[in-house]
A and B are shown apart, each in its own frame.
Chain A
Amino acid sequence: MRNDPIKYFFIWPALFVVLAISIFPLIYSLTTSFMSFRLVPPSPPRFNGLDNYVSLLTNPRFWHVTVTTSIIAFTSVAIQYVIGFAVALALHAKVPGEKLFRVGFLLPMLIAPVAVALIARQIFNPTQGPLNQFMTFLGFPNLPFLTETHWAIGALITVEVWQWTPFIILMLLAGLATLPDDVYEAASLENASPWRQFWDITFPMMLPISAAVVFIRLIESYKIIDTVFVLTGGGPGISTETLTLFAYQEGFKKFNLGYTSALSFLFLIVITVIGVVYLAILKPYLAKHR
C-alpha cells in the first residue's frame, strides 16, 4: 500500500461520520450515566460518579425486571427454536402445498409488533375475545390472560413465539438447503432411521447456524417493549415489566436521564454477559463440528 497522504483525505470524512453517528451518542450516554441529570423537575447535570449504578444495582425493581425479561426471552426463544426447527424440517421435506405454507408461516414476522400486540389484546379479551369465548364454550371459566401475573407472562411468551418463530424457520430453512445430499444418501445405505439421521447428521451440521439464530433472537427478545406496553403495561404491579419498559418509564415518563443512561449501560452489560456465557458454553460443540 502506498504511503500517500491523500488516502487520509478519503478516510477521515468516513471515519468522522462513523464517530459522529455511532460513537458520539454512546460516549454522550456513558457520560450522562455518571451524572445526576433530570429534566423533570429540571436539575442541571451534576457529576455523581457511580451513584446511578449503585442505586440501580440495589434497586429490587431492576433485578425483578431483569429476571422477568430473562424468563420471557429464554422461554420464548427455546420454544421458537423447537417449533421453528420442526416446521423448517417439514418445509424442507417438500410437503404438499409447501410454497403456500412457506408464505403463510412467514407472515407474522412481517407485521409490526405493536399491531400484533393489539390483535393479541383482542384475542385475550376475557369477555369479547375469541379465546375465552371458546374456553367458555368448552365449559371452562374465563381466564385472566392479561391481568394475572403467570397468565400474563404466558400470554407475552405466546405472542413472542407466534411472531418470531417465522424468523427461525426462515434462517433454518436456508441452513437446511446448504446441507450436502451425499451424507444422507450414505446414511440411507447404512439403514439409519430418520430419527438417527436427524440427531447424528442434521442437528450437528445445523449447530453453527442454530447458534447464530438463537443468539440473534435472544438479543432481540431482551429488547421486548411494544408487546408488553400494549398487552399489560408492565402490570399487575411490575410483574410483567421488562428492562426496556423500565428504561422507558424512567426516561420518558420521569425524565430521569442520568439514571436511564446507567440503566441502558447495565442492560448492555447484561446482554454482553449472556452472549459471552452462551458462546463459551457452545464453543466446544461448535469447534467439534467445524
Chain B
Amino acid sequence: MRKLLLGATAMAALSLASGAALACDPDYTGVTLTAASQTGPYIASALQSAGEEWAKKTCGKVNVVEFPWSELYPKIVTSLSSGEETFDVISFAPAWSPDFTDFLSEVPEAMRKGAAWDDIAPIYREQLMVWNGKTLSQTIDGDVHTYTYRIDLFEDPKEKEAFKAKYGYDLAVPQDWKQYLDIAEFFTRPDKGLWGTAEAYRRGGQQFWFFFSHAASYTNIPGQKGAMFFNPETMDAEINNPGWVRGLEEYVKSAKLAPPNALNFSFGEVNAAVAGGQVAQSIGWGDTGVIAADPKQSKISGNVGSAVLPGSNEIYDYKTKEWKKFDHIVKSPFMAFGGWQAAVPASSKNQEAAWNYIEFLSSPEVSGKAAITGGTGVNPYRISHTTNLDLWSKLFSPREAKEYLGAQADSLAAENVVLDMRLPGYFSYTEVVEIELSKALAGEESAQEALDNVAKEWNRLTDEFGRDKQLAAYRAAMGLPAK
C-alpha cells in the first residue's frame, strides 16, 4: 500500500511538473515586471491585457503602474538617471527618447530577426526605434496623420457635377492642399449644418500636429533628411521659412471652412464632428476612421473613406532658399507624435523577461487584437495590421476597411514620410507654436509674424538648452550621422 501511495504521489508530482513546464513557456515563475504607463485606458489597457495573457503563458506577472501624463516623464527620467530599478518596462512618447536613450538596454538580437520583426513597418523598425545606430525601443502604437472623407458626398452625382462646374476638375480625394481647400469651400453650407473640414485648432488640443501636417508637404524635399524643423547643420530654426508660412496660411484658411466653434476643437471634437456628419472631410490620426465607422457612435458609418494626406508639387528648399518644382505631387505624410514606444531600462534586473513581455505585447496577434479594440489607443504599426482585412471586418465595410488600411499602409510606406521632431524640451518648443498659432487663427497676427516669433523663441530655447547638444539629438532623431 505504501509503495502504491508513493508511486501515485510520484506520478502526480511528475504530471504537475510536466504540466507546469507546458504552461510556463518560457518559465518566468516568480518574476514580477513593473511597467510604467500613462493613466489608462489609452496604452495602459493594452499593457494590462497583454500582461494578463503573458502571465498565463510564462507564469510571470506584470504590474502596470499608471501615472498622469504630466508625471510620467519626471517619474521615468528620475528613476533612469538615478539608476534605480523602479521599472522593468517603460512606455513613453518618442519626443522623450533623447533623454532616455543613454539609460536603455538594446533590443535583444534574437528579437530583431524573423517574420514578426520584418512585419514592423520600416519607418518604425529602421528609424523611430533606432537611436545612433542602436535599436533601443519597440513601437507599440503607430501614429501617422491620414485623410478622412464622406463617400456619400464625394460620390453623389449632383455634387460631382456641381463641383466640376465650379472648379473645373473632378471631385475626388484631394491630391494637394489647394484641392483640399477647394473641397472644403465647396461643402461649406452652414444653412444645412455642413462644413468643409475639421481639424484641431484649439491651443492645448493637439493643434500643432495638424499644422505640422500641412507644413510637412512644403518643407521636405525627398532625400533631404531633417530639413523640416531646423537646419540640420546649424540648428537654426526653419519654422519661419516660406514653406512653413504657406502651410500656416492654408491651415488658417481651413479653419474658416470648419464649423463655427472649430477654433475650440481638440482632436476629440474633430472626431465628433466627423462622426456627427458635420463635415465633408478631415485630417487626423487613425482613431477618426475607427470612430466614424462605428454605427454606435457615428451618423456616417458605411460611408467613411480614407486616403493619404494631400501633398504638393512645390517644396521649399532651405539650402537654396527657393521653391523646387516637381512634375508630380510629392506626398509627405506626417508621423504626428510618432506612436508610443516601449523599452527596458539597463538598470532592470529582469531584462530578459521584460523584453519577452514587450515581444509578446507587440506580437502580430496581440497587437493586432489591440489595434481593433476601442480604447486601447493602439493604431496600426505592423504591415500585418494593415493587410489582414478579416481583422477589421468587425469595424468597417469591405470598402472602408480597404481604404482605411490602404491609407495607413501607404502613409507608413511613403517614400517621403516625415518624422516628428524628437528633441530635449520638445514641449517647450511646441508651447510657443501653440500660442502663436492661436494668435494667427484669431487673426491677431499674419502667418509670417506668428512664425517669426516662433523661430525667435526656438532659437532662444536651443541656445538655452545647449545648441551642440540639441543639434546632436536632432540629427540622431532624423537618422543623420553625428557631426
* Contact A127:B77 (CB < 8 A) given known A236-B441, A254-B431: no
Q: Is the CB of A42 within 8 A of B204?
A: no
Classify chain A's interface size: 20 to 34
Instruction: Choose one: A42, A125, A144; the contact of B77 (CB below 8 Å).
Output: A42
Kindly state whether residue B439 has any CB partner on chain A within 8 Å.
yes
B442 touches A252 (CB 8 A): no
Query: Could you pull out 17 A-B pairs where Cβ atoms are within 8 angstroms?
Result: A39-B73, A39-B77, A40-B427, A41-B424, A41-B465, A42-B81, A125-B261, A126-B260, A127-B260, A147-B264, A232-B203, A232-B264, A236-B441, A237-B439, A237-B442, A254-B425, A254-B428
With a cutoff of 8 Å between Cβ atoms, the chain A residues found around residue B77 in the complex are 39-40, 42
* A 241-253 to B, binary, CB cutoff 8 A, 1 in contact else 0: 0000000010011
User: Would you give the shortest CB distance from B335 to chain A, in whole angstroms?
Assistant: 21
Task: Report Cα–Cα, A249/B203, bound state, in Å.
Answer: 12
The answer to whether A148 touches B442 (Cβ under 8 A) is yes
B residues less than 8 Å from A249 (CB atoms): 431
B436 to chain A: which residues have CB within 8 Å? Answer: 237
Give chain B nearest CB distance to A159 CB in angstroms.
15
A142 touches B428 (CB 8 A): no
Contact with B along A33-64 (1 / 0, CB 8 A): 00000111110000000000000000000000
- For chain B residues 57-75, which have a beta carbon within 8 Å of chain A? 70, 73-74
Contacts of B96 in A (CB 8 A): 40
CB of B205 closer than 8 Å to a CB of A: yes
Shortest Cβ distance from A263 into chain B, in angstroms?
A: 15
Residue numbers in B under 8 Å from A229 (CB-CB): 204
B-side interface residues, number (CB < 8 Å): 34
Binding site for A on B (CB under 8 A): 70, 73-74, 77, 81, 96, 98-99, 193, 202-205, 259-261, 263-264, 278, 424-428, 431, 435-436, 438-439, 441-442, 444, 465, 469
CA distance A121 to B205 in the complex (A): 15
Which residue of chain A has the shortest Cβ distance to B193 in the bound complex? A127
**Is A253 a contact of B427 with CB atoms below 8 Å?**
yes
Chain A's nearest CB lies how many Å from the CB of B447? Answer: 14
Cα distance, A233 to B438, chains bound together (Å): 10
Lowest 4 A-B CB distances belong to which pairs? A41-B424, A236-B442, A235-B203, A237-B439
Beta-carbon contact of A234 and B204 below 8 Å = yes
Interface set, chain A 191-237, CB cutoff 8 A to B: 229, 232-237
Q: A126-B261, A149-B442, A237-B444 are in contact. Are A255 and B73 (CB under 8 A)?
A: yes
- Is the C-beta of A89 less than 8 angstroms from some C-beta in chain B? no
The chain A residue with its CB closest to the CB of B278 is: A127
Would you call A146 an interface residue if the criterion is a C-beta within 8 Å of the partner chain's C-beta atoms? yes
A125 to B264, CA, bound (A): 9
A235, B265: Cα distance in complex, Å: 12
Q: Give CA–CA (A121, B261) in the complex, Å.
A: 10
B98, B259, B435, B442: the one within 8 Å of A41 (CB): B98
A127/B261 contact (C-beta < 8 A), A233-B203, A236-B203 known: yes
Residue of A nearest to B68 (CB): A252
Q: What's the Cα separation between A237 and B73 when bound, in Å?
A: 26
A254 touches B427 (CB 8 A): yes
